Amino acid sequence: MIDRELVELLICLNCKGAVEHLEDEQVIRCVGECGYRYPVVNGIPHMLASEALHP
């Protein structure tokens, strides 16, 4: 479980857009134009461009 306020502080490293937490998939997804998906490992978002999945 990730704190909602934490998610609101995160930004996409690629396009600097806002992100949302998809609890079912355990990913942080960019809601901006790039749509990068960052993995959540053991409840910790890995906001690394090298680990992001590109749509």
- Within positions 19 to 48, which residues make up the interface with Zn ion, using CB under 5 A? 30, 32, 34, 36
Residue 37 CB partners (closer than 8 Å, separation 6+): 25, 27, 28, 29, 30, 52, 53, 55
Q: Given candidates 10, 14, 39, 46, which one binds Zn ion under the rule CB under 5 A? A: 14
Q: Which stretch binds Zn ion (CB under 5 A): 3-11, 14-22, 39-47?
A: 14-22
Does residue 28 contact residue 19 with C-beta atoms inside 8 Å?
yes
**Can you give the binding site for Zn ion, defined by CB under 5 A?**
12, 14-15, 17, 30, 32, 34, 36
